[in-house]
Amino acid sequence: MNGFEFPDSLLLENVNPIQSYEEDQELSTHPGVKKRRETLTEILSKNTEANNKPDYLVGEKEFNSVRELSRFEICKVLVENNSYPAAIYHSFLLSKKYPNHKFLEEIKVKSLYGIGRYSSDYNGDTFDELTDSLQGEIQQVYHFVRELEPTDRRSLAAAHLWDYKIKNPKDEAMEMRANDMLREIATLDKRHLDELKGIEKKGKLYTEGILSNISNDNKVKKILKNKNPREATTFSSSKMEKGFKLGLNKVLFVNPAYLKINMTKKKQPIRFIESENRQKDMVKMIDKNAKKVKLKATFMDVNSLGKKSDAEKFNDIIVLEKWMQQKLSNPDGMIPDNNNEAMAILKKSKTKHVAFIGTLSLKEKKSIGGYIVNTVLAGSILLTPVGCYNLFKPNNHSLFYTLVIDAQKQDVIMSSYNVMKQKDRDSIVNANLYWMMLQMKRKPKK
């Protein structure tokens, strides 16, 4: 985009030189690059047969193709891991070879959006930690982001998001990101509403009206005039105690989770086989209790996959789980980077409400040292049969959690958990699941 003028203060005069990794003899488990090369050279010099082997086991063309795909995939992974400056750097490198590539342009805009949103919701600077220790030109990108004021980060993101949206009108998720970033500006950057023309100094970035390229758009004007701040998703303590009333008719349950941990087992505290068997039982319990309250429950879970690999369904589950994880870990209201893929899956399943539900069963040894002292001081008799049993009986805890998301509104509409100092008996699990289903089904008061 045109209209941006960056002062020299945003760039480093020199970046840290790239140095090959050399292992620390005391801490490293792998040899350094130099040592590896020296060892390989020595082996090849003594092994005539190895020298005669081809350089590429899969062929040079196939190797280069896979390497190129991996370079593109790195950009996607960096966005998923919120490493936005790094994603911008890698996408720009690839853009030199693939100019105007839609995927790379999308990576850049998503990264700017992430930078802008994290600058809005967190205290301190998320992008400050690694800057000084980085090596090579990637350090310039991190330094540039660090030196920008939060308001400038949001403005850059909004301008590029809106420009991308105009060029790609069918990209629903990008339109949502553009609208979301403008709402951030309307809420947090009041000075943008006062003057959108002329040359303004905004922190350390000078722009010819940083939003002047898009400020004449009626939709932009409407969003910027919005006086209602974006509110974080919170649930009152009374709602948590009395329960939710969602009034839903159909819910998609994605990979219900069950994990059994037995800390009395030293070798293998996580009971994988037991957990998998209990997960199958829980799916049946969810379906049974949903029918009791007349809630239509559909499932996407790994245990329902056929004996022959159902790759498409498995991939759908992974997409929805990543989508959910980003809804929880990213700033409130932020649009996940795989939102379009998730929405396509939900459209296919004909539902807009998604539930992530799970149970954690924990069994641990009782810490008896302090218990003995306190009991003796209290004058209790320990050496009775009941006293001895209670003294050495392991502690059992069960955690039940439920998260329901309205995908159409991008809102978490139910977040509930219950911790009980009891073993995960069928009756306990069943009672908690019934309560969760009832909260989803019962209608709110008008």
Largest CA distance in the chain: 86
Question: Hey, is 446 helix, strand or coil?
Answer: coil
Closest CA to 176 of 113, 104, 101: 113
What length does the chain have?
A: 446
User: What does CATH list as the number for 238-441?
Assistant: 3.30.160
pLDDT digits (tens, 9 = 90+) for 158-174: 889 999 999 999 999 99
Task: State the pTM of this model.
Answer: 0.78
Residue 227's pLDDT band (cuts 50, 70, 90): low
Q: Do 197 and 363 form a contact (C-beta atoms < 8 A)? A: no
Rounded Cα–Cα distance for residues 323 and 113 (Å): 16
Residue 94, both tokens = 């690839």
Residue 118, both tokens = 């994290």
Closest CA to 94 of 105, 80, 110, 78: 105
Surface-to-core class of residue 352, CB atoms within 10 Å of its CB (0-12 exposed, 13-18 middle, 19+ buried): middle
Closest CA to 202 of 214, 189, 215, 212: 189
pLDDT at 183 over 70: yes
Q: What angle do CA 185, 354, 229 make, to 5 degrees?
A: 20
Q: Once rounded to an integer, what is the mean pLDDT over residues 215-227? A: 69
Q: Once rounded to an integer, what is the mean pLDDT over residues 344-356? A: 92
Q: Do 244 and 251 form a contact (C-beta atoms < 8 A)? A: no
Rounded Cα–Cα distance for residues 155 and 47 (Å): 60
DSSP state for residue 127 in the 8-state scheme: T
Q: What is the pLDDT of residue 379?
A: 45
Report residue 361: phi and psi, to 5°.
Answer: -110, 125
First to last CA, the chain: 49
Question: Hey, is 403 helix, strand or coil?
Answer: strand
pLDDT digits (tens, 9 = 90+) for 84-130: 999 999 999 999 999 999 999 999 999 999 999 988 655 445 666 66
Report residue 84: phi and psi, to 5°.
Answer: -65, -45
Surface-to-core class of residue 435, CB atoms within 10 Å of its CB (0-12 exposed, 13-18 middle, 19+ buried): middle
Residue 332, both tokens = 């409130």
Cα–Cα separations (whole angstroms), residue 336 to 40, 356, 410, 414: 44, 16, 10, 18
- Residue intervals of the chain classified under CATH 3.30.160 are 238-441
